[in-house]
């Protein structure tokens, strides 16, 4: 009989080694598919690396992609850690983007740049948080499963954005394309490097990851939300208000996802379209899982996922392998990560 | 003893890493015998039975059943040789009927139908012969725990078991169900079955077994006929030193600490009246499920009474909540220590301070003072002899006894004015029971008022000054423990209070 025994201590090496091993296994498995597509496997991966890091342009593009993924990854990680199953980061991202565009347009707030940028970020975060508080209230009041409600709200949010950018927020100068009015020049995020799309949103994202890590490890709120997630009954017995914790966690999680949307508008595009997000919200869930819900790990997981997506585009152009291979690699690494985490946490005994 | 030997274990040794779980264990079981395997948690009882049943492979030694050596690591061979095992956690499918559960796994995979007619006849016959009454068509999910255990035993018998192994069979049973089980087992032994049951409870070993084998640290340390030994001797053999449960000294109680008058809780409790004074222990006895859980919730500040008053130190509690109770000096020991008492994945120190986290000594401006938390945990570990880990170990690594010592310790370190203790020693082994009892008595001697809610009559008799029984949400009038005898307590728990008074 095979049994899984819980390990008493999981070493740091095992915790860091698990995701690395998972990625290697995923790349090996995806290699089979690349070979089936008729391309040389090693060459394909070389092209991918070049595509992601081979030039100044590609590096900045990869990092530009990383920033929103860090934020949506954090959004999923903080929620999951408290057992709040927020699958709605995609919708929260979109309403956050829309809020930033609306508040940052000519008809929005009139503030000097140093105040306008934080105000728009806050506006996006508030919009995202509000979108998550609805499903949370339904769960607390009526026991409605938030997995369902947050997931379905993604489509509501997408259609709402579509309605707005075809309607009141439509840009009259866009030759009829469905896009929102642009934000004013003062609302655009300063670039990190000139002549690139890389903006200070990356610093904001990394800074927030460090902040979330600090909050989780050192504060009363961090410890109480961890207890509430791990054992709600014991948390209640110890006098921790579960409702309060969940509301705060929802504000944080929805806020991070909404902020990601605001930053993407202010840093990259300047306006909202319905295809603003190539699934940043959903991919954030994968990022969080790859990072085993660790806030610092989220930064590295987001970088890995961004590398795969940016790199796969260029590999696809060079070798004719469909760029969907990036999705396959990310999905495989998630599966491999789940196995690797089990192996790190449990010992197989016969 | 001339009955033939049906099962023998010869020189069984099993190591897990550096731990020797079984060290050269030899024992014999004779036909028609009821053998108790007694030992504390971690003494190697369950490992030994898993080797016998083929779940584990021994490093050395052999198992012989009915004269044939069993191949190691093959549960099917053990079943074929006529050995049946009833695990502590039942392996039954709740949504299937009794007969489906019993038959499952005995039919070839590709056969049509269950052969229900023949199976039913056999099952009815078995339950009549061995006194294991159960309705073959009842859904297992609807059965009581005691009935499910009967189904497990029937399952083994249906597979022609002539040797039955029961792992801690009474751990999940109420007192009455346990009594019934002993009677059933004795009847089965009289009909020629041979039975081993594993236990760490002295009274049931004394009540049920013919012969007792005591295991300690993986070794057989003694073998006694049940008629030729005593609880005290077995306790000493099992623990390896004299364990006298501490005695209660009489003392004069002080002021009223907790007073309930006409306490109702939405139909689950009706008009409860009781008082607990400083330096006094009030024991609440009763069969499980009569409202104890709700009473504990009220006394721990987890729930508001729907009517009536709860008064602490003579003042009504306006807005009961856990933090307020802790701040007011109420120590709380929940019934489900792993479910409500601790967060298994969190460190020992985090569990030590969780309910006091917002006090200024453990956090400032929202930041946890981890040094202060660890220091508090270290002092609890040292003073209350918590073993199995340091302040940073996850608490799930600790044994039940040590978890309970931590829970008691984090409360008693603060010299509470009131201690609410629900089933404080359930599932603990003899050594841990003695130390938990010692701590509760020391708190009482130091002037703490103790509200003890327990189903264990021996425990209540040992610790309480006064006893009340809870029956269907109502409390009997109190009697002094000096006037309590088993008959009287039995009447109280049955709700026949006039006769008991």
- Please state which of the ranges A296-300, B78-82, B143-147, B370-374 shows the lowest mean pLDDT: B143-147
First vs last Cα of chain A: how many Å apart?
Answer: 6
**B352 contact A CB<8A:** no
**B59 contact A CB<8A:** no
Complex confidence, ipTM? 0.83
Specify which residues B194 forms β-bridges with.
Answer: B163
**Would you say A105 and A164 are in contact if contact means Cβ atoms under 8 Å apart?**
no
What CA dihedral angle connects A110, A115, A119 and A121, to 10 degrees?
120
Of A230, A233, A237, Cβ closest to residue B346: A230
Does residue B135 surpass a pLDDT of 80? yes
pLDDT of the residue at B331: 94
Q: Which candidate in B74, B321, B339, B368 is best for mutational testing of the A interface (most A CBs within 10 A)? A: B368
**Would you say B455 and B423 are in contact if contact means Cβ atoms under 8 Å apart?**
yes
Does residue B114 surpass a pLDDT of 60? no
**Would you say A268 and A275 are in contact if contact means Cβ atoms under 8 Å apart?**
no
CA atoms within 13 A on the CB side of A285: 15
Does residue B54 surpass a pLDDT of 70? yes
For B223-252, give one letter per residue: b (16+ CB within 10 A) or e.
ebebeebeeeebbbbbbeeebebbebeeee
Tell the CATH topology of B5-239.
Answer: Rossmann fold (3.40.50)
Contacts of B342 in chain A (CB under 8 A): 231, 234
pLDDT of the residue at A219: 95
Does residue B56 surpass a pLDDT of 90? no
Tokens at B194, concatenated: 């041979």
Nearest-neighbour CA in chain B from A231: distance (Å): 6
- Find the closest chain B residue to A215 by CA distance: B367
Closest CA to B434 of B247, B305, B291, B246: B246
- Find the closest chain B residue to A7 by CA distance: B397
**B486 contact A CB<8A:** no
Query: CA dist B19 to B16, B47, B215, Å?
Result: 5, 12, 15
Closest CA to B430 of B216, B172, B201, B173: B201
**Would you say A144 and A232 are in contact if contact means Cβ atoms under 8 Å apart?**
no
What CA dihedral angle connects A30, A22, A253 and A191, to 10 degrees?
-70
What percent of chain B is modeled with pLDDT above 90?
Answer: 34
Superfamily classification of domain B256-500: P-loop containing nucleotide triphosphate hydrolases (3.40.50.300)
What's the mean pLDDT in B17-28?
84
Of B340, B344, B397, Cβ closest to residue A237: B340
CA atoms within 13 A on the CB side of B450: 33
Task: Tell me how far apart the 2 most distant CA atoms of chain A are, in Å.
Answer: 70
Sign of the four-CA dihedral B320, B326, B331, B335 = positive
Length of chain A: 350
Structural element, H or E, at residue B85: strand B83-86
Does residue B303 surpass a pLDDT of 70? yes
Provide Rg for chain B, Cα atoms: 25
Q: At B352, is the pLDDT very low, low, confident or very high (cuts 50, 70, 90)?
A: very high
Tokens at A191, concatenated: 């670039």
- Find the closest chain B residue to A231 by CA distance: B343
Contacts of B394 in chain A (CB under 8 A): 8
**B346 contact A CB<8A:** yes
Specify which residues B197 forms β-bridges with.
Answer: B36, B166
Task: Tell me how far apart the 2 most distant CA atoms of chain B are, in Å.
Answer: 76
Question: In the β-sheet with B68-69, what is the strand arrangement from edge to edge?
Answer: B19-30, B5-16, B60-65, B68-69
pLDDT of the residue at B49: 85
User: What CA–CA distance (Å, rounded) separates B222 from A69?
Assistant: 65
pLDDT of the residue at B107: 67
Q: Do B354 and A236 touch (CB under 8 A)?
A: no
Does residue B130 surpass a pLDDT of 60? yes
Contacts of B89 in chain A (CB under 8 A): none
Contacts of B377 in chain A (CB under 8 A): none
| pLDDT < 50: residue spans in chain A | 1
SS3 call for B6? strand
Q: What is the DSSP string of B421-434?
A: EESTTTT--HHHHH
Q: Do A231 and B344 touch (CB under 8 A)?
A: yes
- Please state which of the ranges A263-267, B163-167, B347-351 shows the lowest mean pLDDT: B163-167
Contacts of B396 in chain A (CB under 8 A): 6
- Please state which of the ranges A44-48, A224-228, B236-240, B478-482 shows the lowest mean pLDDT: B236-240
Q: Cβ contacts of residue B114 below 8 Å, gap of 6+?
A: B99, B100, B103, B107
**B396 contact A CB<8A:** yes
Does residue B36 surpass a pLDDT of 70? yes
pLDDT of the residue at B46: 80
Per-range mean pLDDT, top range of A185-189, B234-238, B406-410: B406-410
User: What CA–CA distance (Å, rounded) separates A209 from B322?
Assistant: 33
Q: Cβ contacts of residue A173 below 8 Å, gap of 6+?
A: none
Cβ neighbourhood burial of A227 (10 Å; 0-12, 13-18, 19+) = buried
pLDDT of the residue at A249: 96
User: What CA–CA distance (Å, rounded) separates A317 from A54?
Assistant: 15
Q: Which residue intervals of chain B bear CATH 3.40.50.300?
A: 5-239, 256-500
Nearest-neighbour CA in chain A from B16: distance (Å): 10
Query: CA dist B55 to B15, B25, B51, B162, Å?
Result: 14, 17, 6, 19
Closest CA to B125 of B170, B82, B157, B89: B157
Q: What is the DSSP string of B46-78?
A: HHHHHHHTTSS--SEEEEEETTEEPPTT-HHHH
Tokens at B371, concatenated: 């040094």
- Find the closest chain A residue to B392 by CA distance: A9
pLDDT of the residue at A1: 46
User: What CA–CA distance (Å, rounded) separates B376 from B378?
Assistant: 5
**Would you say A286 and A41 are in contact if contact means Cβ atoms under 8 Å apart?**
no
User: What CA–CA distance (Å, rounded) separates B475 from B494?
Assistant: 12
Does residue B342 surpass a pLDDT of 70? yes
- Find the closest chain B residue to A221 by CA distance: B366
Q: Which residues of A touch B (CB under 8 A)?
A: 1, 6, 8, 218-224, 226-227, 230-231, 233-240
Nearest-neighbour CA in chain A from B297: distance (Å): 9
CA atoms within 13 A on the CB side of B398: 33
Q: Which candidate in A225, A230, A233, A234 is best for mutational testing of the B interface (most B CBs within 10 A)? A: A234
What's the mean pLDDT in B107-127?
73
Contacts of A239 in chain B (CB under 8 A): 301, 321-323, 326, 355
pLDDT of the residue at A3: 61
Contacts of B406 in chain A (CB under 8 A): none
Closest CA to B258 of B299, B224, B218: B299
Number of CB atoms found within 10 A of residue B432's CB: 21
pLDDT of the residue at A349: 62
What's the mean pLDDT in B122-126?
86
């Amino acid at each position: 009989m095979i049994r899984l025994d819980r390990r008493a201590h999981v070493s740091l090496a095992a915790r860091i080694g698990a995701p690395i091993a998972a990625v290697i296994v995923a790349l090996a498995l995806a290699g089979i598919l690349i070979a089936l597509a008729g391309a040389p496997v090693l060459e394909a991966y070389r092209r991918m690396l070049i595509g992601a890091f081979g030039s100044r342009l590609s590096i900045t593009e990869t990092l530009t992609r990383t920033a929103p993924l860090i934020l949506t990854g954090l959004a999923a990680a903080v929620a999951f850690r408290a057992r709040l199953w927020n699958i709605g980061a995609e919708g929260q991202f979109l309403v956050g983007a829309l809020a930033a565009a609306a508040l940052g347009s000519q008809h929005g707030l009139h503030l000097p740049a140093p105040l306008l940028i934080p105000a728009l970020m806050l506006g996006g975060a508030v919009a995202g948080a509000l979108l998550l508080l609805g499903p949370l209230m339904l769960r607390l009041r009526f026991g409605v499963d938030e997995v369902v409600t947050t997931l379905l709200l993604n489509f509501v949010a997408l259609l709402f954005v579509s309605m707005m950018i075809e309607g009141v927020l439509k840009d009259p100068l866009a030759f009829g394309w469905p896009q929102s009015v642009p934000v004013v020049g003062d609302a655009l995020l300063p670039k990190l490097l000139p002549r690139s799309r890389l903006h200070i949103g990356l610093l904001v994202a990394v800074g927030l990851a460090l902040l979330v890590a600090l909050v989780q490890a050192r504060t009363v709120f961090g410890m109480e939300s961890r207890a509430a997630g791990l054992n709600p009954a014991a948390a209640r017995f110890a006098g921790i208000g579960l409702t309060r914790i969940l509301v705060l966690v929802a504000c944080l999680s929805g806020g991070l996802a909404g902020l990601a949307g605001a930053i993407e508008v202010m840093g990259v595009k300047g306006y909202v379209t319905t295809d603003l997000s190539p699934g940043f919200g959903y991919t954030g869930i994968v990022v969080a899982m790859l990072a085993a819900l660790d806030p610092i790990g989220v930064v590295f997981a987001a970088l890995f996922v961004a590398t795969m997506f940016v790199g796969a585009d260029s590999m696809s152009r060079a070798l004719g392998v469909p760029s969907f291979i990036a999705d396959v690699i990310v999905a495989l690494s998630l599966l491999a990560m789940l196995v690797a985490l089990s192996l790190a946490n449990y010992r197989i005994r016969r | 003893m001339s009955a033939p030997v049906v099962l023998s274990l010869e020189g069984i040794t099993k190591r897990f890493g550096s731990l020797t779980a079984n060290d050269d264990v030899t024992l014999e079981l004779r036909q028609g015998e009821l053998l108790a395997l007694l030992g504390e948690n971690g003494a190697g009882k369950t490992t030994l039975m898993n080797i016998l049943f083929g779940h584990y492979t021994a490093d050395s030694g052999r198992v012989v059943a009915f004269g044939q050596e069993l191949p190691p690591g093959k549960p099917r061979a053990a079943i074929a040789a006529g050995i049946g095992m009833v695990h502590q956690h039942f392996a039954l499918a709740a949504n299937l009927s009794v007969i489906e559960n019993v038959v499952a796994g005995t039919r070839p995979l590709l056969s049509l139908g269950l052969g229900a007619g023949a199976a039913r006849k056999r099952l009815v016959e078995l339950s009549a012969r061995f006194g294991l009454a159960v309705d073959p068509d009842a859904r297992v999910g609807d059965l009581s725990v005691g009935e499910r255990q009967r189904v497990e035993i029937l399952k083994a018998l249906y597979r022609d078991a002539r040797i039955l192994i029961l792992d801690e069979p009474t751990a999940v049973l109420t007192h009455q169900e346990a009594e019934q089980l002993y009677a059933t087992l004795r009847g089965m032994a009289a009909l020629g079955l041979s039975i081993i049951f594993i236990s760490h409870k002295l009274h049931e070993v004394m009540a049920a077994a013919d012969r007792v084998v005591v295991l300690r640290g993986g070794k057989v340390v003694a073998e006694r006929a049940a008629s030729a030994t005593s609880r005290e001797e077995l306790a000493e053999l099992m623990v390896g030193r004299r364990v006298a449960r501490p005695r209660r000294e009489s003392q004069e109680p002080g002021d009223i600490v907790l007073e309930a008058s006409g306490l109702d809780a939405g139909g689950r409790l009706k008009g409860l009246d009781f008082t607990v004074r400083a330096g006094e222990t009030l024991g609440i006895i009763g069969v499980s499920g009569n409202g104890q859980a709700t009473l504990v919730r009220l006394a721990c500040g987890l729930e508001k009474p729907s009517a009536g008053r709860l008064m602490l130190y003579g003042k009504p509690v306006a807005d009961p909540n856990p933090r307020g109770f802790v701040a007011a000096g109420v120590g709380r020991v929940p019934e489900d220590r792993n479910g409500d008492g601790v967060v298994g994945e969190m460190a020992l120190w985090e569990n030590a301070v969780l309910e006091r986290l917002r006090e200024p000594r453990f956090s400032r401006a929202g930041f946890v003072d981890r040094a202060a938390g660890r220091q508090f945990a270290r002092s609890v570990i040292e003073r209350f002899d918590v073993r199995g880990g340091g302040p940073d170990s996850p608490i799930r690594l600790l044994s039940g006894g040590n978890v309970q010592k931590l829970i008691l310790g984090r409360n008693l370190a603060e010299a509470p004015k009131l201690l609410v203790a629900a089933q404080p020693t359930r599932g603990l082994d003899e050594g841990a029971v003695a130390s938990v009892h010692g701590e509760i008595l020391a708190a009482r001697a130091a002037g703490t008022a103790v509200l003890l809610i327990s189903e264990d009559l021996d425990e209540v008799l040992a610790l309480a000054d006064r006893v009340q029984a809870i029956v269907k949400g109502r409390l009997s009038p109190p009697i002094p423990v000096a006037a309590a005898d088993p008959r009287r307590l039995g009447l109280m728990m049955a709700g026949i209070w006039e006769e008991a008074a």
